[in-house]
Amino acid sequence: MLRIVSRFIEKNSLLSMREPIVVGLSGGADSVSLLAILVRLGYDCVALHCNFHLRGDESDRDEEFSRNFATSLDVPFHKIDFDTVGYASSHHLSIEMAARELRYSWFGKMREDLGAQAIAVAHHRDDSIETLLMNMLRGSGIRGMGGIRARNGYVVRPLLCVSREEILGWLESQGYSYVVDSTNLSDAYTRNFIRLRLLPLLEELNPAARTTLARTAEHLSAAGLIYQYVVDRAKRELILPDGTIPIERLLEYPAPETILFEILKDYGFSRTQSDDIFQSLAGEPGKMFYSPKYRMLKDREYLMLTPQEDRGRAPL
């Protein structure tokens, strides 16, 4: 396990030995294994624990366990208490989204305060598979089909190379204990439903379903990088200095309808509006479309973008 994770870290240039790493530690199997592995690989770690106060005594149990585990590894430990329900209500968020915002905001602040190189979190290969399936069910574009990325800014995920089963097996072999979040055993949430019910059904059709899906996520992640490269190039080539878009040049691109959407969404236009604008390209000039801050005029040879408040001026 140590060798596998070490190679993954090196392959993806996730961490160096020069600066400390802040590590999210919930007390569950995944985060326990992450902290233990990084410490045993020689990294300078600081453990961060969030008490969201969502599960009564369980939340306090997790905090105590996490503190004791970090101490057993001689790792500095920091914790914070959140009124997650209050935050979710005041910000009109789901409990899950509120906890995520609170967690990563604090992790980011602690990384800066401690001068850490990265925030290490314990997502593993099965999490990436579940994310792929969730995004498929939501109708995500190609960028949402690559599962979870190994690096997203300062956030790194060194365990994406191993499965949940491998993590549990390693913890058992090393004699490490961990706590179990009772909500992870319920299929009340979408991710847990996928984990506990959908994936087992897929494995009845194909026992290697998890491996196949993980490989698919890797391929789609690579395809997403190519897609983004083409989109970025199209934006540079198609958006002229005055903000106009040459229609003839746009239509020379493969999938011009998709290219147009990628351009227009930066200006607040929805997918439906972008589709309508694309359909108008073969029609008469003069049709106008509006986003919250911009208007788009379909001219004979150009699409012309103008800020809505700038009604007296020429296009951008």
Residues whose CB falls within 8 Å of the CB of residue 244, separated by 6 or more in sequence, listed in order: 299, 302, 303, 304, 305, 315, 316
Question: Is 153 in contact with 117 (CB distance < 8 Å)?
Answer: no
Q: Is residue 315 part of a domain?
A: yes
**221 phi, psi to nearest 5 deg:** -65, -45
Assess if residue 290 is contained within a domain: yes
Q: Which residues, at least 6 apart from 225, have a Cβ–Cβ distance to it below 8 Å?
A: none
The pLDDT of residue 185 is above 60:
no
Q: Does residue 232 fall inside a structural domain?
A: no
The pLDDT tens digits of the residues spanning 247-263 come to: 999 999 999 999 999 99
Q: Is residue 222 part of a domain?
A: no
Q: What pLDDT, in 10s, does the model give residues 198-208?
A: 999 999 999 99
Identify each DSSP E strand in the chain by its residue range.
21-24, 45-51, 77-81, 118-120, 151-152, 155-156, 244-246, 288-290, 294-298, 302-307
Task: Tell me the two tokens of residue 152.
Answer: 């997203």
Summarize the confidence of residues 268-281 as an average pLDDT: 94
| 3-class secondary-structure state, position 245 | strand
For residue 136, the Cα-to-chain-centroid distance in whole angstroms is: 14
Same domain (yes/no): 209, 248:
no
Based on the domain organization, do 249 and 201 belong to the same domain? Answer: no
**β-pair partners for 163:** none
194 and 272 assigned to the same domain: no
Average of per-residue pLDDT across 40-63: 94
Among 244, 257, 254, CA closest to 298? 244
Same domain as 74, residue 197: yes
As for how many domains the chain has, the answer is: 2
Q: What was the pLDDT predicted at 182?
A: 65
Query: What CATH number did the domain enclosing 275 receive?
Result: 3.30.465
Do 209 and 246 share a domain, yes or no?
no
Domain CATH number, residue 137: 3.40.50.620
- The Cα 266–Cα 67 span in angstroms is 44
Whether residues 172 and 269 fall in one domain: no
Same domain, 156 and 203: yes
Domain interval for residue 273: 240-316
Specify if 233 maps to a domain.
no
Give yes or no: residues 45 and 137 share one domain.
yes
Q: How far apart are CA 129 and CA 255, in angstroms?
A: 28
What's residue 314's pLDDT? 43
Are 142 and 287 in the same domain?
no
Tell me if 255 is assigned to some domain. Answer: yes
Q: 137-163 pLDDT, tens per residue?
A: 888 777 777 778 899 999 999 999 999
Tell me: do 156 and 272 sit in the same domain. Answer: no
Same domain, 158 and 22: yes
Task: State mean pLDDT over 232-258.
Answer: 93
